[in-house]
Amino acid sequence: MELLFILLSTMGGAIFFTWLLRFYAIRQNIFDIPNARSSHNQPTPRGGGIAFVLSFLFALIVLVPDASLGWSSIWAIFGAGIGVALLGFFDDHRPIGVCWRLLGHFIGSIWALCWLGGMPALEIFGNRIDFGWVGHAFAVIYLVWMLNLYNFMDGIDGIASVEAICTCLSACLLYWASGFSDLVMVPLLLAMAVLGFLYWNFPPAQIFMGDGGSGFLGIILGVSSLQAAGSSPKLFWAWLILLGVFIVDATVTLIRRGLRGEKLHEAHRSHAYQFASRQYGSHLPVILAVVAINILWLLPLAACVVLWGLEGALGLVLAYVPLVMIAVKFHAGEPEKVVLHLGGRTGFF
């Protein structure tokens, strides 16, 4: 009963804090103004993601004595999460240079990794491998990439919120089913906090989460995956599978734009989900497709890895290959003018 009250309070707190932040953004004239690279057509308040940041962290403080997390995980989450959220919040008010933002991202990632004890050993085709310092360096880059890809993928109403909720609740289900219930609390609280924010962010969105919220989600989900890997390597593979929609779309888009020599930090709208939302004339069909892919494809594959012994690397390949095909089908990373010239007609199936 006490846990249920805390979960509902977390969701309710996020709803209330988002309302406050929306009022603040309107009063301070903090709007996302539509331009040629936007996927929306009217000015919308931004920076609302700080609402679920506050709600989640407050709830976590309340549950620290009973959460079985350990202080190292708490410091990793609080230090990296608060730092990244504040950096994004200030950037929403007054843009910060790319180099300074990246420096902050690396500092936050290194902070989290230090408290987690570095990159855990992974199991690949039956062999448990400790990558040492190479693994630690990879883990820092992984956290920075997770942080930024989440920012890249927060481009249409509700998509970043829905992805976080699906991923976190799926992880909770796998934790419970595989005997790692001590890991449930962080993703469960995060899902409830983001669910409260989604009340205001669901299409048509009344407020955007902004860089503070998207960056926070990216690094907390990345930290959660590394924390899970410390308990069982197969859980890390499961997290990578569950995050497949975002990882694949962002990575395919980045690679294709990089091969053309485009500046990767510049705003654009050439992700597969953005092309899809323009084709269908609405954000909602894309959001529903993301939910369907997560529940009907990625969760069962992650369950096969965690519960039924499927090799993690093989499960990842099986999960990602169709997602890559969908991303290419929806022109991920292609110049918008070329797609329009060719007609750009496609479909989910």
> Contact at 8 Å (CB) between 174 and 300?
no
**How far apart are alpha carbons 93 and 31 in whole angstroms?**
9
Question: Residue 339: its pLDDT value, please?
Answer: 58
Q: Which two tokens stand for residue 291?
A: 């939910």
Residue extents of the structural domains in the chain: 2-342
Query: Does residue 204 have a cis peptide bond before it, meaning omega lies within 30 degrees of 0?
Result: yes
Question: Residue 127: its pLDDT value, please?
Answer: 86
Task: Name the 3-class secondary structure at 22.
Answer: helix
Q: Which two tokens stand for residue 158?
A: 């509700």
Per-residue pLDDT of the chain (349 residues; tens, 9 = 90+): 588 999 999 999 999 999 999 999 999 999 988 865 667 778 999 999 999 999 999 999 887 665 566 778 889 999 999 999 999 999 988 889 999 999 999 999 999 999 999 999 998 888 888 989 999 999 999 999 999 999 999 999 999 999 999 999 999 999 999 999 989 999 999 999 999 999 999 999 999 999 999 999 999 999 999 999 999 999 999 999 999 999 999 999 999 999 988 887 777 889 999 999 999 999 999 999 999 999 999 999 999 999 999 999 999 999 999 999 999 999 999 987 655 544 544 444 3
Q: How many other CB atoms are found less than 10 A from the CB of residue 87?
A: 23
* 239-260 pLDDT, tens digit each: 999 999 999 999 999 999 999 8
Q: Which two tokens stand for residue 165?
A: 């909720």
Q: Which two tokens stand for residue 168?
A: 């976190």
Question: Residue 206: its pLDDT value, please?
Answer: 96
Question: Residue 37: its pLDDT value, please?
Answer: 63
Alpha helices in the chain (DSSP H): 2-27, 50-63, 71-93, 98-116, 132-153, 159-178, 185-201, 210-231, 233-242, 244-259, 272-280, 284-293, 299-307, 312-329, 336-342
Task: Name the 3-class secondary structure at 129.
Answer: strand
Residue by residue, DSSP assigns 169-221 as: HHHHHHHHHHT-GGG-HHHHHHHHHHHHHHHHHSSSPSS--HHHHHHHHHHHH
> Contact at 8 Å (CB) between 156 and 330?
no
Q: How many other CB atoms are found less than 10 A from the CB of residue 180?
A: 16
| pTM tops 0.85, yes or no | yes
Closest CA to 348 of 308, 268, 292, 304: 292
* 7-24 pLDDT, tens digit each: 999 999 999 999 999 999
Q: How many other CB atoms are found less than 10 A from the CB of residue 297?
A: 17
